[in-house]
Amino acid sequence: MTTAESNTIIGVGVDRVDGPRKVTGAAPYPSDFSYDGLAHAVLVQSTIAAGTISRIETEDSEAAPGVLTVVTHDNSPALADGPITPLGPSPPTPFRDNRILHHGQHVAIVVAQTQEQATAAARSVRIEYQQSTPILGIENPDAAVLRNPWGLELHRGDAEAALASAEVVYDETFATAAETNNPMGLFATVACWEKNRLTVHDCTQWPVMVRQTLAAVFDLPESDVRVLVPYLGGGFGAGLRAWPHVILAALAARLVDRPVKVVLTRPQMFTSIGHRAQSRQRVRLGSTKDGRLVAIDHEGTSTLGVEDFNIDPITMTTGSAYACPNVATHDRLVRLNIASPGAMRGPGKVEGNFAIESALDELSYELGVDPIELRLRNYAEVHPQSGLPWSSNALRDCYRVGAERFDWRRRDPAVGSMREGHWLVGYGAAGVTFGSYQAPCQARITVERNGTALVRSAATDIGTGTYTIATQLTAELLGLEIGQVKIEIGDSDLPPAPQSGGSGLAMSHSAAIHDAAGNLVRAFLDLVADDENSPLRGNAPSDVGCAAGRVHLLEDPAAGESYTEILARHALNEITADGRADLETGRGDSATSAFAAHFVEVRIDKDLGLLRIARVVSTIDAGRVLNEKTARSQIIGGVVMGIGMATLEETIFESATGRIANATFGDYLIPVNADVPDIDVIFVGGPDSFSPVGIKGLGEIGVVGVAAAVANAVYHATGRRFRSLPITVDQLL
C-alpha cells in the first residue's frame, strides 16, 4: 500500500470531527455521567501543612440531612499503595494514617444524596490537629534534598575545565514560580461498582494507567476495572497521575454501595492534581570571544512533596540543544510540605529552556553578536550527545523564516533604543529543541460491510485533536472519506494506548494506526489471494493502493475492488486488524526532536510599568503537519500559557502555613484575550524519517521558549534583565 505522502485529506485544516458534538453539548465529559442512585461526595481538606490529626469528629456530619457516610483515616479500610507507572510512582495513597503532609490534603470524604447536602455536611466535620512546623520554601536549609534523583545527569567532556579556561564566562541564577494547571473542566470522578467490577469515569489523560492504579489499590484484576474518558475538558499534564480523589471516589462508592460522583472545586484543583514545581537554576556558560560555546553547566532544583516523587527534569534537553563539547547537568529535588507537584505542559523543560535561552541572550549582548546569529554559530548539526544524525531538523528554517516574518532586521541592537510614544519597544527570541518519542501503543481497525472503518484504542483526546487526526489518517491510509471513519477512544477496555502527554500520543497512536491499516489491507489481500473473481488476487501489499473505498493495483488503478464488494463476495460482515507501535526514541540510527523558534515584541509603558505582549511569531518544525487547524491551535494555546508563565502566573504558598493564598480564578491570574496578541504560527520542515507517517510531537513546543523570548524582549526594551518569573508590573515600575 502507499504511504500517505501525496494526498488531499492530510495536512489541510479539517474541522474537528468532534466539534459539533462539543458545541451542542452532546459530548459527554466525565462529570456528565450519571447512574440510578448516584450519590455525591465532597472532600474535606487539611487546614495545616504538617503534623497529625489528633481527633476527627464526624458525628454531626453523619447526622446531617441526606448523609450516607463520612470516611476518614479512622474508619477507612486499608488500601494498597498505587503501582509504579511508566511515568513513575503513584501519589501517596489517601487515608493511610493520621499524618498531614501538606495543606489541602484530603482528610475526609462526605457522601450524601445530593451535592448540596454533602457540601453542607462537609462543613461540620471537626478536626483537631497536632501541628508541627512545616518545611516550606525552596531555599529552606531543613528540607531534604535529593541529588541526581532520576539518574539523568549528563557529563560530556569536562565542563569545569572548559569553564576555567574559557575566554568568556557567564554565571547567573534563575528562578521560576510554581504554577497551577487550570483546565476549564473541573476534575471529576464518577465511580460505580457492580459486585467486584469497578467502572470509573475520570478526568484523565491516561485511562490505562488509572485502571492499573485502581486495580492495584483495590486488589482487583485489571480486567475488572474499566476507566472511561471519551472527552476531557483540558489536562495540561494534570491528568497524568491517578490522584487521591480518584481512589476516594471509588472507595466511597464501595462503602455506600452506590455510584458516587466527586467534582473538585476550583480551589481544590490547586492542591489535588499537581502543579508546575517552583525552580531555582544556575547556568554557567563558557564561550570563545566569537561566540562558540565551549562549556555549559546547568544546575536545576525543583520542589517536591515530602513523600512523593515526580519526574520532570529541568536540565533534560540542555545537552541536546547546542553543539557544545563540554556539558554538565545537575538535578536536585527539595522536599517540602506542599501538595505534590506534577506535570504541567513541557514540565521541567519549560523552566530549563527559560534559563538557557535567557543566558544565551545575555551572552549575545556581552559578545556583541546578534542573538539569532549566536544560536546559529552553535547549531547542532547532529545530536550533540549521541552524535547521531537528526531524523529531521528544520531549526535553521525556524530561525530564518521566523526572523523574516517578524522583521527581525528592524531590531536596533542598542538596548532601550526602540520607542513608540511612551512605549519602550523590545524584540526577543528563543530557540527550542524538544525530543520526540514513540511509546508502546495499539490500535484496532475494523472495516465493515458498508465500507466504513472503526478505529479503536484506549487513547484520549484531551482537546488536542486526537479524534480528528486519527480520522484523517485512517481515511487517507484506507482510501475513505472523513465521514466513513469512526474513532472510539477514551476507554481502558480498548487496545492499550499511552498517555496523552509528553507530546507523544500523536506519534505513538499514528504509528499504531499506520501498522493496523497495513495489516488490514494485507488481510483483504489474503482473503482474495486465490479468488479468481478478484483483480487483486496474488498481489502483495506493496503492489496496491487505497482510494475511493477500494483497493487497486498501483500499476493499473482501474483494476481493483471495493472493501464492500470483497466482504460481500466472501459473506463477511467485517474484517478487523490490529496494529502496534513499540517504545522507541529513534531507530538507533537517528535522534528525533521537534524544534521551534519564538519571536516576541513587547511594549512597556515607561511610566506605568505596563507590559504588553505586542506580537508573537512562532515557527515550528514538528515534521509533517497532519492537520493545520488543530496543530496551529496547539501552538497558540502553548504560546498563551507561555505568556502566562512570563507575565502573570504564580501559585503562592504562604511561607508560614503552606496554604495556597491565591487558589481561585479571581486571584490566580491567567492570560485573557486582552493579554494575548494575534499569534502568528508558521510550520516549517517536512516529513520526519522516524515516524511512519512523518510527524513529530507538537503539544508542548508552543509553550517552551516563550518565557525566555519575553524576558529577552523586556531586556532589549528596558535594559533590565529579569531572571525570575513572572515579570510583574510592580517589578517593572
Active site residues: 700
Contact stretch for ligand MOS (CB under 6 A) within 14-22, 54-62, 68-76, 230-238: 230-238
Minimum distance from CB of 234 to ligand MOS (Å)?
Answer: 10
Residue number, 45 or 499, with CB nearest to ligand MOS? 499
Selected from 51, 185, 230, 235, the binder of ligand MOS by CB under 6 A is 235
Distance CA 228, CA 87 (A): 20
CA pseudo-torsion sign 133, 138, 142, 148: positive
Candidates 358, 359, 396; CA nearest to 380 is: 396
CA-to-CA dists, residue 581 to 470, 504, 524, 584, angstroms: 15, 12, 21, 9
Distance CA 352, CA 426 (A): 23
Q: Is 463 in the site for ligand MOS (CB under 6 A)?
A: no
Q: What is the DSSP letter of 558?
A: T
Q: Is 622 in the site for ligand MOS (CB under 6 A)?
A: no
Q: Is 501 in the site for ligand MOS (CB under 6 A)?
A: yes
Site for ligand MOS in 127-166 (CB under 6 A): none
Question: Which pairs count as long-range contacts for 726-730, CB under 8 Å and 24+ apart, including other chains?
Answer: 726/177, 726/644, 726/645, 726/646, 726/647, 726/648, 726/649, 726/650, 727/611, 727/646, 727/647, 728/647, 728/648, 729/608, 729/609, 729/610, 729/611, 730/609
Residue number, 346 or 431, with CB nearest to ligand MOS? 346
Residue number, 44 or 350, with CB nearest to ligand MOS? 350
Q: What is the DSSP letter of 627?
A: B
Selected from 199, 205, 326, 718, the binder of ligand MOS by CB under 6 A is 205
Candidates 88, 484, 40; CA nearest to 256 is: 40
Residue number, 274 or 431, with CB nearest to ligand MOS? 274
φ, ψ for residue 561, nearest 5 deg? -155, 160
Terminal CA-CA length for the chain? 63
Residue number, 568 or 583, with CB nearest to ligand MOS? 583
Residue nearest to ligand MOS (CB): 237
Residue number, 110 or 343, with CB nearest to ligand MOS? 343
Site for ligand MOS in 502-521 (CB under 6 A): 502
Q: Is 347 in the site for ligand MOS (CB under 6 A)?
A: yes
Q: Is 237 in the site for ligand MOS (CB under 6 A)?
A: yes
Q: Is 184 exposed, middle or buried (0-12, 13-18, 19+ CB in 10 A)?
A: exposed
Q: Is 274 in the site for ligand MOS (CB under 6 A)?
A: no
Contact stretch for ligand MOS (CB under 6 A) within 96-104, 232-240, 249-257, 626-634: 232-240
What DSSP element (H or E) covers 475? helix 466-478
Q: Is 343 in the site for ligand MOS (CB under 6 A)?
A: yes
Candidates 450, 518, 460, 451; CA nearest to 488 is: 460
Selected from 129, 187, 236, 243, the binder of ligand MOS by CB under 6 A is 236
Q: Is 344 in the site for ligand MOS (CB under 6 A)?
A: yes
Binding track, positions 161-200, relative to ligand MOS; x by CB under 6 A = ----------------------------------------
Residues touching ligand MOS, count (CB under 6 A): 12
Contact 206, 500 (CB under 8 A): yes
Residue number, 345 or 598, with CB nearest to ligand MOS? 345
Minimum distance from CB of 635 to ligand MOS (Å)?
Answer: 15
Question: How many CB atoms within 10 Å of residue 137?
Answer: 17
Which residues of the shown chain bind ligand MOS in the complex (CB under 6 A)?
205, 235-237, 240, 343-345, 347, 501-502, 700
